[in-house]
């Protein structure tokens, strides 16, 4: 593979647009919107941009350990995780990402489910 997805889709400038569109959907969601009620969205978009960029082979990176730490107090269940993943998937399609790119990013996201989910449905 010669170019990373990150370069192919236009670097940080483009990725941050995707992330903003994704968060617009997230805050509107009845399932996960409430998690973001008290969060400064600008810093969220900033951090999430770095994370998604790293999944696409860009320069920034986020360790699994850091990810676990941030989400540990948030009591995220599987339903909420899946809603988040669904909205991200939808956003990538809105921006006409190719199928292989979408699959790669969703694989990276889904492989972190056990790190982010801390509340288990009974």
**Nearest approach, Cβ of residue 2 and ligand HEM (Å):** 26
Taking the least distance from each CB to ligand HEM, the nearer of 4 and 67 is 67
Where does this chain bind ligand HEM (CB under 6 A)? 32, 35-36, 39, 47-48, 51, 62, 67, 70-71, 74, 76, 80-81, 84, 109, 112, 116
Q: Cα separation of 102 and 16, whole Å?
A: 16
Residue closest to 58 by CA, chosen among 106, 16, 22? 16
**Nearest approach, Cβ of residue 77 and ligand HEM (Å):** 8
User: What are phi and psi for residue 12, nearest 5 degrees?
Assistant: -55, -40
Residue closest to 115 by CA, chosen among 61, 60, 78? 78
Taking the least distance from each CB to ligand HEM, the nearer of 80 and 91 is 80
């Amino acid at each position: 593979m010669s170019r990373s997805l990150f370069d192919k889709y236009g670097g940080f400038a483009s990725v941050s647009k995707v992330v903003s569109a994704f968060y617009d959907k997230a805050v509107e969601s009845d399932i996960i919107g409430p998690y973001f009620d008290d969060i400064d969205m600008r810093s969220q978009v900033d951090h999430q941009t770095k994370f998604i960029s790293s999944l696409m082979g860009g320069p920034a990176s986020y360790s699994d350990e850091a990810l676990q730490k941030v989400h540990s107090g948030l009591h995220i269940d599987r339903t909420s995780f899946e809603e988040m993943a669904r909205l991200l998937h939808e956003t990538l399609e809105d921006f006409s990402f190719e199928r292989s790119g979408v699959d790669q990013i969703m694989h990276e996201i889904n492989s972190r489910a056990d790190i982010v989910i801390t509340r288990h449905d009974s």
